[in-house]
Chain A
Amino acid sequence: MTTADPGLPEAFAAATRRGATAREVLRAGAVFILLAAMLVGFTVAQPAFIGINNLMSILQAVSVVAILGTGVTVTLAVGGFDLSIGAVAASSVMAASYFMVVWGLDAYATVPLVLLFGAAIGALNALLIVRLKVPDLLATLSVMFLLTGLQLIPTAGRSISRGLILPDGSTASGQYDPLFLLIGRSSLFGVVPLPVVVMATVAIVLFVLTERTRIGRLLYATGGNELATRLAGGATQRLKTLAYVLSGTLASLGGIVVAARVGRGDVSSGASLLMDSVAAALIGFAVFGLRRPNVLGTVVGAVFVGVLLNGLTMLNAPYYTQDFVKGAVLVGALALTYGIGRSRS
């Protein structure tokens, strides 16, 4: 929750400055009110819920979704959409495992290489969308398929772990670098898991980039009115490319976190990452009542879903209701943002 603080008072202050009605405040704060209500409700029902370990495990569980979600947010800000992030994250898991287990690289080489891989996929998306003018959904969807298939080829569809037998019959000799595993398995001061620290850092850096710099202003300007931005001298093609490269890089960062936690290259990892992070970004529209993609909203959206799922699990709700709950939250959040806004005007 710490990550949400910088924008929260400001949004409320902005709302009151404009002489906001109660309805507007409600719209701006609805997600937080619900979040508080859930925290209280779950704690009453199950006191173990509010324990620091459980709260940290919630944050750890949503960290990857939040990191990917901020990437989607940036592409939404430029008026695009990146559907390939889930596949980029999953193939980054495979790539990280391959680099270490098959090539025998250490963490210092693996992490930059995987991030470079994500950036390259982002650049490919940008090439298709910006240069070849393929519609964003189609371009990133096809890259998603490409990666989903590509990650199976080097190992002939096998998961990557120590002693993997390669397609040419030889046996892989490397293993996961213990230093790499620390990314997913260690905690700061023994309390805050490192993935949560990564998530918070990403959230703050991207918040500042999108909301407090001229690059951010231009990114949003490109998404708001591309023609106007170009006529004002903005390099819209470069800005869009930047957004997709950022999104790809963040997705591969998410993949690194997953790989470091799981400790093996699983072919099925990252199955639900795409939908969850898109959902987080869309719930983010409702946070602060902004009705637009915004980085903090996305992180809060991811946390919101995480709290809800964790609480329900503690109350013994069956696992198969999870997707239904996520869908209900998304529908509710969007109806709230847009519905209340409409009735006002």
Chain B
Amino acid sequence: MPLLQARELSRSFGSTRALIDLTLSIDPGEIVALMGANGAGKSTFVKILSGVLAPDGGRIVFKDQAYAPRTPAEATRAGVVTVHQSTDLVGIPGLSVADALLLNRFVDPRSPFFVSRRSVRAEAESMLHEAGFALPLDRDFADLPAADRQLVAIARALANRAELLILDEPTASLSTGESQRLYATLKGLKQRGIAILYISHRMADLEALADRVVVLRGGRDVASFDRPVDFDAAIETMIGRPLASARPHARRPHDDPVFELVGARLLPSSEPFDLVLHRGEVVAVTGVLGAGKSRLLSAIFGSGRLAAGTMRLAGRPYRPANPRDAIGAGVAMAGEDRHRSSLMPAGWPGESVAATISLPHLARWYPSGLLRNGIERGKAEAAIDRLGIRADGPDASVWTLSGGNQQKVVLARWEVEPGKLLLLDEPFQGVDVGARHDIIGAIRAHADRATLIATSDPEEAIEVADRVVVLDHHSLRSDLFDKPAS
């Protein structure tokens, strides 16, 4: 007798069909893992289950009753609780962990108006007792590590008598040890008959926990694998083609190393690894959110630090103290989330296409200090032609451009001057298919530098790169489709 049965669920956004006739059931005490590339429909499904979205078609039966929550609160009352990826939203910095545990109790108008520190503590203790794990109740929530924040969210879910727990990439920001603790907790819950829907790309998670893996592709449930799971088959199903043909048009041999990383540790506790990038080579580093991709790129760019290890650029030792040093040495980075990392706000000086491109090159282009418009406009016009940027001209605000064209402008910023190494963090975020094609072409057109691309989407990685490496728990595994080491 399944706890939850979803039958032929569909949901469209405009002309995009995010979910097509999805059918899935979960038994009490079962851990079901959901796999799928970006846009496969995982998050749409989770949003429907947690009452954020309503399905266009199909129905859900939960505990033998029709289940159609209209709000997250309704879903929670029914016993379906979602623990989201960003756990900073669980509590409030400055308040204690006990307060965080009881946060939704405070919101409840039926709860007592006056609260004392003692009553809060007592109630929080009984919650943790019920959940079966310990947390430092008097600690400031802000000081709590990500793993413990997750436990706060889970304890709150259990206090709400959750019967189905939905976990979205729960180990994304956890260390190996913390992940192990989470596995133990989840197995304990499973023993008590609580069902878990688990969303993760991380092989180690799936291997440790999943009773069953369900693969989504293009909004459909395309396959289901029982334990022991054949992960090669699961990944082939996920990307929709055999692994062998997934290797790209290789442009090797690249034999001129531009950048070398030796004995690098991203965290003091993580495994050391080496990485060599060659001239003209495009390497993609993939891995789940929090696997250390951004940490690796920012260490190379000087905005972060390696815990250990040495770097060499063009044969010389390379130790950037900040992005300025890195740029001076010929290393450039287009950061993740271009709005935050690359663009000026709308209506502010420097929002034009030309100014966006020229920002890092002002000192070189305008040695006198006075801005004579000619240089940056000329360079921007050339970039608009070269990359096919759809804009009214170099003076147009970048905010009038589509996401893909904004990304081209950001790319233009860094390829307009020669360099040795280009780092791109999630360059395809919010980029439509056409622009994505242009961007891949532009990235691959450069034979004079090495390019390192971080992306959490393995398909994207295969599409753009000569070579794909995987970061897992802040350490590098040389090839994408090796079986998990454990």
Which residues of A are interface residues toward B (Cβ below 8 A)?
211-218, 220-221, 223-225, 227-235, 290-292
Contact = CB atoms under 8 A, between A and B. Distances in A.
Given A212-B370, A230-B323, A233-B327, A217 B347 contact: no
A233 B324 contact: yes
Nearest to A210: B349
B350 A220 contact: yes
Interface in B200-229: none
A291 B369 CA distance: 25
A213 B371 contact: yes
Given A225-B340, A228-B343, A233-B323, A217 B369 contact: no
A109 to B, nearest CB: 31
Contact of A224 (B322, B333, B350, B370): B350
A253 B370 CA distance: 25
B1 interface: no
Given A225-B343, A231-B323, A233-B327, A218 B349 contact: no
Interface stretch (B103-111, B145-153, B356-364, B433-441): B356-364
B231 to A, nearest CB: 37
Contacts of B327: 232-233
A216 B371 CA distance: 9
Contacts of B303: 230-231
B348 interface: yes
A56 to B, nearest CB: 32
B267 interface: no
Contacts of B301: 231
A215 B350 CA distance: 12
A113 B322 CA distance: 36
A211 B340 CA distance: 23
Contacts of A220: 344, 348-350
Interface of B: 301, 303, 322-324, 326-328, 333, 335, 340-345, 347-351, 355, 359-360, 362-363, 366, 369-371, 413
B90 to A, nearest CB: 25
Contacts of A225: 340, 342-345
A232 B343 CA distance: 10
Contacts of B360: 232-234
A229 B324 CA distance: 10
B202 to A, nearest CB: 29
A214 B363 contact: yes
B369 A224 contact: no
Nearest to A218: B362
A291 B363 contact: no
Q: Which 3 A-B pairs have the closest CB atoms?
A: A214-B362, A232-B360, A220-B349
Nearest to A225: B344
Nearest to A220: B349
30 contacts: A213-B369, A213-B370, A213-B371, A217-B350, A217-B355, A217-B359, A217-B362, A218-B362, A220-B344, A224-B344, A224-B345, A224-B349, A225-B340, A225-B343, A225-B345, A228-B341, A228-B342, A228-B344, A228-B359, A230-B303, A230-B322, A230-B323, A231-B323, A231-B335, A232-B327, A232-B360, A233-B323, A234-B324, A235-B324, A292-B348
Given A214-B366, A228-B343, A232-B359, A221 B323 contact: no
Contact of A234 (B341, B359, B370, B413): B359
A1 to B, nearest CB: 25
B330 to A, nearest CB: 12
Given A291-B347, A292-B349, 10 more contacts: A214-B366, A217-B350, A220-B344, A220-B350, A221-B359, A224-B348, A225-B344, A227-B335, A231-B333, A233-B327
Nearest to A341: B347
B475 to A, nearest CB: 26
A13 to B, nearest CB: 13
B362 A227 contact: no
Contact of B347 (A211, A229, A231, A292): A292
Given A218-B362, A221-B359, A224-B348, A231 B341 contact: yes
Contacts of B355: 217
A181 B32 CA distance: 84
Nearest to A18: B395
A156 B328 CA distance: 54
A228 B347 CA distance: 16
A212 to B, nearest CB: 6
Contact of A212 (B324, B340, B371, B413): B371
Max count, chain A CB within 10 A of own CB: residue among B341, B349, B371, B413:
B349
Contacts of A216: 349, 371
Given A224-B349, A232-B359, A215 B344 contact: no
A224 B352 CA distance: 13
B370 A221 contact: no
Contacts of B343: 225, 228
A229 B349 CA distance: 13
Contacts of B340: 225, 227-228
Max count, chain B CB within 10 A of own CB: residue among A220, A221, A223, A225:
A225
A316 B284 CA distance: 75
B345 A214 contact: no
Nearest to A292: B348
A129 to B, nearest CB: 19
Nearest to B347: A291
A30 B271 CA distance: 64
A192 to B, nearest CB: 28
A229 B342 CA distance: 8
Contacts of A290: 347
Contact of B371 (A214, A223, A230, A235): A214
Contacts of B322: 230
A231 B342 CA distance: 8
A218 B324 CA distance: 14
B371 A227 contact: no
Nearest to A221: B350
A60 B323 CA distance: 46
Contacts of A227: 335, 340-341
A155 B231 CA distance: 82
A233 B370 CA distance: 19
Nearest to B342: A228
A289 B210 CA distance: 59
A232 B322 CA distance: 11
A229 B348 contact: no
